[in-house]
Amino acid sequence: MLKKNWLLLFLVAFSVNVFADEPQPIIRTADPLEMSVRMDLPPHITSVAEGVVYVLGSSGYHLVLDEKTLPGSMEIAKRPIPPKAIRHTVVPIYQAILWMIGDDSRLVVDPVQKVISFEKINDE
């Protein structure tokens, strides 16, 4: 009788319904561009490209500039960081980059290759 009780307890405790029609929960990984960064840049960082590389830090993402596929990316990268981007606050990495590239540019993200870039927004 004791063996049957232990067996029954074991089966109930470790039972898993593998034939259930209900969807299984999805495990999501955190987006590295959602990590927080302090928008206090060292004084030697003056261009948008330098600032973006700095805030990307150890996120695993890299900045890629390609004029053929993303027109204006080099021009944006060479710009000085706008004063309004330095806000001495903690924000997600993507927000810090958006502040640096300005309102006339769009952030382009490839989460598979872990690269980012930017392009000019056409005023059409």
pLDDT digits (tens, 9 = 90+) for 5-26: 555 545 545 455 555 555 555 5
Q: What is the distance between the alpha carbons of residues 31 and 45, in angstroms, rounded to a whole number?
A: 25
* Structure tokens that stand for 68 in this block: 């053929």
State residue 110's pLDDT score.
Answer: 92
pLDDT average, residue stretch 104-115: 92
pTM of the complete model: 0.73
Edge-to-edge order in the sheet of strand 105-110: 62-63, 115-120, 105-110
Q: Which residue has the tokens 């005023």?
A: 123
Secondary structure of residue 7 in the 3-state scheme? helix
Q: What is the distance between the alpha carbons of residues 107 and 97, in angstroms, rounded to a whole number?
A: 8
Contacts of 58 (CB under 8 A, 6+ apart): none
* Structure tokens that stand for 42 in this block: 């060292």
pLDDT digits (tens, 9 = 90+) for 68-81: 878 889 999 999 99
